[in-house]
Amino acid sequence: MKTKIVGTGSSAPQNVVTNDDLAKIVDTSDEWIYSRTGIKQRRIATDENAGTLATDAAKRALENAKVDAQDIELIIVATTSPDYTFPNTASVVQSNIGAVGAMCVDISAACTGFIYGLSMAEAYIQSGQFKKALIIGAEYMSSIVNWKDRSTCVLFGDGAGAVVLAAVEDETEGFRAVSCLHSDGSKGHVLTYGDRAKLSKNEQDFLYMDGQEVFKFAVKKVPESITEVLEKADMKLDDVKYFILHQANIRIIEAVAKRLGQEMEKFPTNVANYGNTSAASIPILLDELNRNNILKRGDKIILSGFGAGLSWGSTLLEW
Ligand code: COA
């Protein structure tokens, strides 16, 4: 059984916060933020949250796919900033869109969450259990960062992206994705949030990150996983049209391109406009590329994520 991404959608809060806006609340500057991260602005929720953003993105993906919500049998939401511990965000989306009876699950794999979710949905479809799935990355990062900590609050943004994945019967259509997905829990302490022991004592816990450790990890592991996936698929770097990386930081993307000896033209980016939207960044970018008709049928693309866990991985698929 092969699968196909039959539709994409995304959503971001209306409220745009520029680097200059942030310089009014913490000791920072547009020059510092842009030169180290490539970020110019981000969207920050006012009335929105993970559930509403995920719902909007899902509705747009269903419309793009021309698929009825009632035909969706599986909803996976990758999120690190869900509105509730339970019910899960997927159930919130299910209720909002009317995907009655679908299996709903959130997965917590931070910025790698979307590609983990895509791979899990594909496995369910290949097993014959489901025919159509919604995979969503949705984040309300502004609710978990410390707005007094300049080293982290300038990096993140809110948003959601979604894809509809469907089984295809026609052998000339669709793809069998090749994925290499990994974690190293022994490095978990470099990127953390949500210590329940602190919360139970009414102490606040905010996102913590050792930026330099995460940077080193990403520029090593992302090229490794891309190479691994290509070897597994018996393909070469030149066979790949685009590398769609988690949008954390332009310097990480540039370093990966350099390590792989590939031109930056093959690495589309939108981190300047959204900042790091964690699990949402890959599907938001995928939706932009789809809606601008940049992706052509048959293009080989690699999606790569990395983040807390520490987790990382790449998926090769054909558009
Ligand atoms: N504005 C101005 N100065 C800032 C600042 C800000 N927003 N944030 C930190 N600084 C200061 C620090 O206080 C430090 O000052 P000091 O030298 O007086 O102590 C100085 O800038 C350098 O800090 P440092 O943390 O060493 O900066 P860096 O060059 O490592 O850049 C990151 C910081 C976060 C941009 C960089 O480490 C990075 O991109 N890491 C990867 C993060 C990431 O992508 N995470 C998500 C993965 S999913």
Q: What is the pLDDT of residues 103-151, one digit of tens each?
A: 999 999 999 999 999 999 999 999 999 999 999 999 999 999 999 999 9
Q: What is the pLDDT of residues 161-208, one digit of tens each?
A: 999 999 998 878 888 889 999 999 999 999 999 998 888 888 888 999
What type of residue is 176? R
Dist CA 97 CA 28 (whole Å): 41
Q: Whose CA is nearest to atom 26 of ligand 1?
A: 212
Whether the CB of 276 sits within 6 Å of ligand 1: yes
Whether the CB of 59 sits within 6 Å of ligand 1: no
Residues 178-318, CATH architecture: 3-Layer(aba) Sandwich (3.40)
Torsion of CA 276, 281, 287, 292, to 10 degrees: 40
Dist CA 165 CA 135 (whole Å): 7
**Ligand 1 atom closest to the CA of 153, numbered from 1:** 7
Pick from 134, 142, 139: nearest CA to 96: 134
**Helix intervals (H) in 139-238:** 150-153, 196-200, 211-233
Q: Do domains 2-168 and 178-318 have the same CATH topology?
A: yes
Domain 2-168 class in CATH: alpha beta
Helix then strand then coil, % of the chain, to nearest 5? 40, 25, 35
**The pLDDT of residue 267:** 98
- Quote the strand ranges of 185-274, DSSP E: 191-192, 208-209, 242-245
Residue 38 CA to ligand 1 center (angstroms) comes to 13
- Establish whether 111 is a catalytic residue: yes
| Mutate which of 36, 147, 149 for ligand 1 pocket (most atoms within 8 A of beta carbon) | 36
Q: What is the pLDDT of residues 12-36, one digit of tens each?
A: 999 999 999 999 999 999 999 999 9
Q: Where in the chain are the domains?
A: 2-168, 178-318
**Options 19, 49, 64, 111, the catalytic residue:** 111
Q: Which two tokens stand for residue 293?
A: 């008709």
- Establish whether 189 is a catalytic residue: no
In the numeric block, the tokens 């049928």 are attached to: 297
Q: State phi, psi for 108 to the nearest 5 degrees.
A: -110, 95
